[in-house]
C-alpha cells in the first residue's frame, strides 16, 4: 500500500480520489504513531503516483482524494506525537491524461506559541506588576527569551507568580550594568512537555516606576542577548511576542467637594452650607449626590481641626482628605485643634435604638476623641417621620431622618415618631464620626397598627353632641361619615375633608349636619374614611 522515502527518512502514504478545494481523507498506510491533521491545496487528480525523494518532508502516494478541507493524515512512520496545522507546498507533474507525477507537502506545525506581556499603570514611585501570559502552550519542553524596557522609566525589582513547573528566580538573569533587560531560560524538569491553558501566567515581573508623571515604557520580548525560542517535544516551534506597556500616571488630586473655591482649605461658610444642603437633601454642585453623611462629618472634622487639608491617594473618600498644616502666616477661623494626618477613629462611639409604640428613641454616644458627629435614620417608603427632637429634620426626598452635624462629643437623646400604613417595618441607620460610619444597633423593626381607629369618644350633655378622637397621617385627608341604618349601606358625609397632621384629631358631632343629636334622633353609626 505504501513506499517509504529512504533518502529523507520520512513516512509516505497512499491517498484516494481527490478534488481540489474539497475535503480529503488520507488513510493510514502504516502502523506508526498518532494521526496528524491539516489541509491540502492543489489540483484535481485521479490515479496512482510514486513517492518524491527531495526536500526532506513527508511524501504521499496519492490515489483519489479531495483537497482544501480538513483531512486526517495517518502517520506512516514512527515519529513523535500529533501536530496540528496545514499541509501545503504541493508539487506535481501533469501527464497526457492529467496524471499527477509527484506530490510534496510539508507537515507544518501549529500556529505556535504566543507570549504576551501585560500592561500596568502606576504613579511615580509606586510598584507596577507586569504578567507574561501564554496561548497555544502545548507540550512545551523549553523556552527562552529576553524581556526589555526603558530603564529611565522602570526599575527592575523582582520576579514572581511562576506558572511553569520548576520555574524560579534561578531561571532569570539580570545585570545592573544592563538595567533594561531580563533574560529567562527554562527546560521542563520532567522532559514530558508542559501544557498550559490560554491566558495562563508564565511569570510576572515587578517594577518600580522611577520615571516622571506621564512617562510610558514598552515592555517587550527581544532576542538580545538571549534569542526568543520555544520548543515542543524538543522541536523548535514558532513564537509570537506581544508587547505591553507601563504608564506612569499619578491619579488626579481630588479636592473635597465642600471646598467650593478649591484652595484645599475648609472655612466656616463652606461647612455650614454643605451641612445644610445634606440635612435638606439638596443637590450639591460637586458630586457625590445625595451628600453622604460621612462626607459631612469629615468636612466638619477638617474645619474644626485646622481648616487646611491634603489628599491621600491611598485612602478612599472621605478619609482621603487629611489634615495638613496651613501655609505660614495664614490665619484660621476654625474651632481650634492641631493639624496633622490622623485619619479618623470612631473609637467606642455608638447609637442605640429603642422603640415604644410609634416612637423611636436613639441614644447617641460619641467617643471622647470625636470632633464632629451626625446621625441618620433610613425609613421605608410607607412611613413618615414627625415630632423629631434635637433639631433633627425629615428629608422626604431621600427618606431619612437627620441630626447634626454636632461639633462636639456630647451624648444626646434623639427621637422621632412614625405614621403610615399598618404593618411591620425594618429600621436602619448610622452614626458618623469624623468621616467614619458605624451602624446603629438595638431595635431593628417597628410595628404600626391600623390608624383608622377611634382612640376615644365622649358624650356631652344633652344636645351638645358626641366627640371622638382618631389618628391621622401627614399627606392624607379624612372624611367622617354617618348613617342611621347599617343594612342600607347609605353613608352621609358629616365632616371633611380634614387634613392629616400626623397627630390625633378630634371631631364633635353637634347635629348640624346629621339631623340633631337628641335622644329622639334615634340610633346613629359613624365611620372614618381616608383618602388617598
DSSP state of 288: S
Spatial separation of the C-alpha atoms in residues 344 and 371, rounded to whole Å? 10
CA dihedral sign, ordered 280, 283, 289, 293: negative
**Dmax (CA) of the chain:** 135
Instruction: Name the domain count of the chain.
Output: 4
CATH of the domain at 241: 2.60.40.680
150 in a structural domain? yes
pLDDT band at 243 (very low <50, low <70, confident <90, very high): very high
Checking if the pLDDT of 44 tops 50, the result is no
Does residue 234 share a domain with residue 117? yes
Indicate if 211 and 123 belong to the same structural domain: yes
Three-state DSSP at 270 gives helix
Task: Determine how many CB atoms are found less than 10 A away from the CB of residue 395.
Answer: 18
pTM (2 d.p.): 0.48
Instruction: Check if the beta carbon of residue 2 is closer than 8 Å to that of residue 61.
Output: yes
Residues 378 and 493 in one domain: no
Q: Is the residue at 301 inside a domain?
A: no
Asked if residue 337 belongs to a domain, the reply is: no
Q: Looking at the domain assignment, is residue 272 inside a domain?
A: no
User: Rg of the Cα trace of the chain?
Assistant: 42
**Which grid cell is 90?**
504541493
Q: What percent of the chain is modeled with pLDDT above 90? A: 52
For residues 136-150, give the mean pLDDT.
96
239-242 and 113-117 strand pairing: parallel
Expressed as residue numbers, the domain containing 94 is: 1-108
pLDDT for 209 beyond 60: yes
Whether residue 436 contacts residue 366, with contact meaning beta carbons closer than 8 Å, is answered with no
Torsions phi, psi for 169 (to 5 deg): -60, -25
- The answer as to whether 343 is a domain residue is no
Q: Indicate whether 49 belongs to any domain.
A: yes
Mean pLDDT, the chain, rounded, equals 77
Are residues 80 and 45 located together in one domain of the fold? yes
> Do 90 and 124 sit in the same domain of this protein?
no
pLDDT tens for residues 475-498? 788 888 888 877 777 888 888 888
Q: Which of 224-238, 317-331, 396-410, 511-525 is the least confident region?
A: 511-525
Domain final residue pick, 248, 265, 285: 248
Span 332-389, pLDDT tens digits: 444 444 434 445 567 899 999 999 989 999 999 999 999 999 999 999 988 999 999 9
Q: What is the mean pLDDT of residues 457-464?
A: 50
pLDDT over 70 at 82, yes or no? no
What distance lies between CA 232 and its chain's CA centroid?
39
- In a shared domain, residues 126 and 86: no
Tens-digit pLDDT profile for residues 183-197 = 999 999 999 999 999
Residue 463 lies inside a defined structural domain of this protein: yes
Q: Which of 448, 483, 502 is the last residue of a domain?
A: 448
Amino acid at each position: 500500500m505504501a513506499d517509504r522515502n529512504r533518502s529523507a527518512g520520512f513516512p509516505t502514504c497512499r491517498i484516494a480520489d481527490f478534488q481540489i478545494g474539497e475535503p480529503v481523507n488520507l488513510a493510514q498506510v502504516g502502523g506508526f504513531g498518532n494521526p496528524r491533521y491539516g489541509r491540502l491545496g492543489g489540483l484535481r487528480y485521479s490515479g496512482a503516483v510514486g513517492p518524491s525523494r527531495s526536500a526532506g518532508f513527508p511524501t504521499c502516494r496519492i490515489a483519489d482524494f479531495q483537497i482544501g478541507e480538513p483531512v486526517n493524515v495517518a502517520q506512516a512512520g514512527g515519529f513523535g506525537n500529533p501536530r496540528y496545522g496545514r499541509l501545503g507546498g504541493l508539487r506535481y507533474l501533469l501527464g497526457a491524461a492529467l496524471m499527477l507525477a509527484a506530490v510534496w507537502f510539508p507537515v507544518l506545525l501549529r500556529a505556535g506559541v504566543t507570549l504576551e506581556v501585560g500592561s500596568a499603570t502606576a504613579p511615580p514611585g509606586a510598584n507596577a506588576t507586569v504578567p507574561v501570559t501564554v496561548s497555544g502552550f502545548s507540550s512545551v519542553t523549553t523556552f527562552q527569551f529576553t524581556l526589555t524596557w526603558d530603564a529611565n522609566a522602570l526599575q527592575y525589582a523582582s520576579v514572581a507568580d511562576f506558572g511553569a513547573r520548576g520555574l524560579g528566580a534561578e531561571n532569570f538573569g539580570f545585570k545592573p550594568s544592563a538595567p533594561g533587560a531580563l533574560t529567562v531560560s527554562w527546560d521542563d524538569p520532567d522532559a514530558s512537555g508542559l501544557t498550559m491553558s490560554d491566558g495562563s501566567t508564565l511569570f510576572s515581573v515587578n517594577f518600580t516606576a522611577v520615571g516622571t508623571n506621564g512617562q510610558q515604557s514598552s515592555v517587550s520580548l527581544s532576542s538580545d542577548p538571549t534569542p526568543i525560542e520555544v520548543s515542543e517535544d524538543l522541536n523548535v516551534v514558532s513564537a509570537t511576542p506581544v508587547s505591553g506597556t507601563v504608564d506612569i500616571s499619578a491619579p488626579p488630586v481630588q479636592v473635597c467637594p465642600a471646598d467650593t473655591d478649591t484652595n484645599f482649605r475648609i472655612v466656616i461658610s463652606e461647612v455650614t452650607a454643605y451641612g445644610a444642603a445634606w440635612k435638606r437633601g439638596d443637590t450639591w454642585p460637586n458630586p457625590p449626590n445625595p451628600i453622604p453623611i460621612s462626607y459631612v462629618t469629615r468636612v466638619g472634622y477638617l474645619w474644626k481641626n485646622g481648616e487646611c487639608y491634603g489628599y491621600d491617594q491611598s485612602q478612599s473618600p472621605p478619609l482621603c482628605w487629611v489634615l495638613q498644616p496651613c501655609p505660614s502666616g495664614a490665619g484660621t477661623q476654625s474651632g481650634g485643634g492641631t493639624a496633622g494626618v490622623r485619619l479618623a477613629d470612631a473609637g467606642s462611639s455608638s447609637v442605640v435604638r429603642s422603640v415604644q409604640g410609634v416612637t423611636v428613641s436613639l441614644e447617641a454616644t460619641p467617643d471622647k476623641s470625636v470632633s464632629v458627629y451626625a446621625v441618620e435614620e433610613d425609613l421605608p417608603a410607607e412611613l413618615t417621620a414627625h415630632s423629631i427632637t434635637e433639631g433633627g429634620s425629615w428629608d422626604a426626598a431621600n427618606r431619612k431622618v437627620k441630626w447634626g452635624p454636632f461639633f462636639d462629643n456630647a451624648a444626646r437623646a434623639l427621637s422621632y415618631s412614625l405614621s403610615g400604613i399598618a404593618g411591620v417595618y425594618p429600621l436602619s441607620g448610622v452614626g458618623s464620626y469624623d468621616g467614619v460610619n458605624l451602624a446603629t444597633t438595638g431595635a431593628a423593626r417597628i410595628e404600626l397598627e391600623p390608624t383608622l381607629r377611634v382612640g376615644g369618644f365622649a358624650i356631652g350633655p344633652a344636645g351638645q353632641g358626641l366627640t371622638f378622637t382618631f389618628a391621622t397621617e401627614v399627606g392624607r385627608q379624612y372624611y367622617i361619615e354617618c348613617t342611621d341604618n347599617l343594612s342600607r349601606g347609605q353613608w352621609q358625609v358629616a365632616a371633611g375633608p380634614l387634613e392629616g397632621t400626623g397627630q390625633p384629631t378630634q371631631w364633635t358631632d353637634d347635629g348640624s349636619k346629621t339631623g340633631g343629636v337628641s335622644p329622639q334622633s334615634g340610633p346613629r353609626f359613624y365611620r372614618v374614611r381616608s383618602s388617598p
